[in-house]
């Protein structure tokens, strides 16, 4: 008999969504370990849905099942999801049932259902899981959310550190499981030659404000003209992303020094964008979301390459790395530029040692290893014996 795992969150059927790719990959690998996993999917077009189905077939996630929500108002979709959820919970064919919640708006309903049906309720923590700021009202609200759940899955140790720092009471059952990655895909990336006069700096990711992409353009402004920036991100076929990049190029007088690829499919990102880079970059701002709540997927991907990394010195970054691995900089353009420049003044042996360290760290984030750890934790939690 199988364990049933329901991801209680409407997931958009877009392959340019980092969240969608994270959920399907992490839970697809978990489904391969005798878990029947249900993920609700909302697709605006048949093309979007076909892309998702093709991805699942390509990855061979035979035990991950998508529940396609109707193309209707969000309230109607929510009602369909709740009805489907109940239809699964009343079945007796599973050894145990687990519901994963990642958003506060779904948690209250899951707690009500838990009173009626017997299942294990887990909260998976992400960017929006922490208070925007620490006030008495928000503290009480988030503390109540942490009550009456069976376990907490932190995707970064910095999330747990935040709750401990502000004296929240956490559930007894906890695990830290950063998002997974395909190590082989990124380990094949070739670094740029340090003998080359042109120095390529690269960023891949979204342009949401807390990711502080502007820092990269300002830092590039303070670097010699032979430093160039590659950037890939934003939404697929997004005119606003192109306008945003062009605005920053003009603002910091960087004409001819920035190459914007637009959205690049994850399957070719490593080969098309990261290959040949000299340094990989990760900016963040000073918000709680960036400093504590996020688990930067791009950092995990970067660490599997042979390329040195410069990132903002934030708890969320340190939570995924270790001392003497990646290069840390202040959230200040001049300092960020200085740290980049100093890499090229180091001995190659010193850089190689740091890169080896980051490679060793990245191995613990392999999809299969992550799934095994997750499954073992669920076995203990549910008192489930194979």
Asked if 29 and 166 sit in the same domain, the reply is yes
Structural domain span for residue 34: 3-180+366-382
Asked if 76 and 212 sit in the same domain, the reply is no
pTM of the model: 0.91
Using alpha carbons, select from 382, 305, 318 the residue that is nearest to residue 351: 305
In sequence order, the 6+-apart residues with CB closer than 8 A to the CB of 213 are: 203, 205, 207, 231, 233, 248, 283
pLDDT of residue 314: 97
Number of domains forming the structure of the chain: 2
Asked if 165 and 40 sit in the same domain, the reply is yes
Asked if 18 and 126 sit in the same domain, the reply is yes
What is the rounded average pLDDT of the residues 66-88? 90
Asked if 113 and 202 sit in the same domain, the reply is no
Hey, is 84 helix, strand or coil?
Answer: helix
pLDDT digits (tens, 9 = 90+) for 316-360: 999 999 888 999 999 999 999 999 999 999 999 999 999 999 999
pLDDT digits (tens, 9 = 90+) for 155-164: 999 999 999 9
pLDDT digits (tens, 9 = 90+) for 236-264: 667 888 999 999 999 999 999 999 999 88
pLDDT at 125 > cutoff 60: yes
pLDDT of residue 189: 93
pLDDT averaged over every residue in the chain: 92
Asked if 140 and 265 sit in the same domain, the reply is no
pLDDT digits (tens, 9 = 90+) for 264-274: 888 888 999 99
Please state, as a whole number, how many other Cβ atoms lie within 10 Å of the Cβ of residue 94.
Answer: 17
What is the rounded average pLDDT of the residues 64-75? 90
Asked if 316 and 241 sit in the same domain, the reply is yes
pLDDT digits (tens, 9 = 90+) for 14-66: 887 888 989 999 999 999 999 999 999 999 899 999 989 998 998 999 899 99
What is the rounded average pLDDT of the residues 85-101? 91
Asked if 240 and 99 sit in the same domain, the reply is no
DSSP assignment string, 189-231: PPPPPTT-SSEEEEEEE---GGG-THHHHHHHHTS-TTEEEEE
List b or e across 119-151, with b for residues whose CB sees 16 or more CB atoms inside 10 angstroms. bbbbbbbbbebbbeeeeeeeeeebeebeeebbb
Asked if 112 and 209 sit in the same domain, the reply is no
Asked if 219 and 279 sit in the same domain, the reply is yes
CA angle 358, 354, 180 (to 5 degrees): 5
Confidence of residue 385 (pLDDT cuts 50, 70, 90): very low
Asked if 312 and 220 sit in the same domain, the reply is yes
- For residue 15, the domain's CATH number is 3.40.50.2000
Using alpha carbons, select from 206, 235, 202, 208 the residue that is nearest to residue 302: 202
Asked if 116 and 164 sit in the same domain, the reply is yes
278 and 194 Cβ atoms separated by less than 8 Å: yes
């Amino acid at each position: 008999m199988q364990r049933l795992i329901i991801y209680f969150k409407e997931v958009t059927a877009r392959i340019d969504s980092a969240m969608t790719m994270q959920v399907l990959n992490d839970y697809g690998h978990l489904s391969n370990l005798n878990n029947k996993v249900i993920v609700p999917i909302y697709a605006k077009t048949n093309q979007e849905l076909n892309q998702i189905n093709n991805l699942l077939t390509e990855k061979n996630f035979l035990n991950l099942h998508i529940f396609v929500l109707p193309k209707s108002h969000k309230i109607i979709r929510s009602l369909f999801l709740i009805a489907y959820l109940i239809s699964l919970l009343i079945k007796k064919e599973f050894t145990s049932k687990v519901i994963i919640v990642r958003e506060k708006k779904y948690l209250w309903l899951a707690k009500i259902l838990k009173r009626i049906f017997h299942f294990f309720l887990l909260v998976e923590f992400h960017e929006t899981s922490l208070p925007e700021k620490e006030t008495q009202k928000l503290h009480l609200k988030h503390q109540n959310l942490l009550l009456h759940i069976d376990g907490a899955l932190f995707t970064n140790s910095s999330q747990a550190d935040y709750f401990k720092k502000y004296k929240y009471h956490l559930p007894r059952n906890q695990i830290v499981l950063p998002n997974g990655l395909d190590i082989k895909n990124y380990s094949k990336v070739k670094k740029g030659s340090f003998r080359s006069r042109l120095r390529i700096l690269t960023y891949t990711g979204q342009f949401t404000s807390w990711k502080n992409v502007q820092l990269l353009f300002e830092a590039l402004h303070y670097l010699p003209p032979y430093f160039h920036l590659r950037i890939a991100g934003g939404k697929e076929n997004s005119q606003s992303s192109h306008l945003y990049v062009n605005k920053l190029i003009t603002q910091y007088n960087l004409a001819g020094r920035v190459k914007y690829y637009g959205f690049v499919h994850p399957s070719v990102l490593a080969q098309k964008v990261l290959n040949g880079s000299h340094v990989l970059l990760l900016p963040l701002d000073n918000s709680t979301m960036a400093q504590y709540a996020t688990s930067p997927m791009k950092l995990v991907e970067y660490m599997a390459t042979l390329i040195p990394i410069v990132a903002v010195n934030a708890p969320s970054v340190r939570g995924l790395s270790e001392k003497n691995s990646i290069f840390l900089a202040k959230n200040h353009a001049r300092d960020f530029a200085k740290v980049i420049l100093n890499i090229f003044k180091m001995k190659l042996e010193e850089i190689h040692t740091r890169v080896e360290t980051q490679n060793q760290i990245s191995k613990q984030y392999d999809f299969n290893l992550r799934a095994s750890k997750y499954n073992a934790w669920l076995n203990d939690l549910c008192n489930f014996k194979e």
